Amino acid sequence: MYRRMIRKADLMEKMIDTVDARDALQSRADHANVLRRAANRCMTCAEPDACEKWLAGHDRAEEAPGYCRNHDLFERLKHDIEAEKLQHA
């Protein structure tokens, strides 16, 4: 069980970097809570093999695959960062 948890945590970290959501995540005032909820979703994911395979084929991607339980979160985070950049421009 511990190995599965570590594997899923590693996959989540890689997904965050692959979809370039790390800065957006860390810039949130409540980033610890957001990260905790994201980790919980990832831990209950039934697709770690598909995730691992997808990540192996992508160094960078515009968005996470549709089956990713954090897909919508990553999209919202990236949208928030873009909106912030436009406000300050």
Tell me the per-residue pLDDT of 9-35, one tens digit each, with 9 for 90 and over.
999 999 999 999 998 899 888 999 999
Between 56 and 1, the higher pLDDT residue: 56
Domain boundaries, the chain: 2-87
Tell me the per-residue pLDDT of 31-52, one tens digit each, with 9 for 90 and over.
999 999 999 999 999 999 999 9
CA of 69: how far to CAs of 12, 42, 46, in Å? 10, 6, 9
Angle at 16 between CA 9 and CA 30, to 5 degrees: 90
Q: How far apart are CA 21 and CA 74, in angstroms?
A: 6
Cβ atoms of 63 and 24 within 8 Å: the answer is no
Cβ atoms of 48 and 11 within 8 Å: the answer is yes
- CB atoms under 10 Å from CB of 85, counted, come to 9
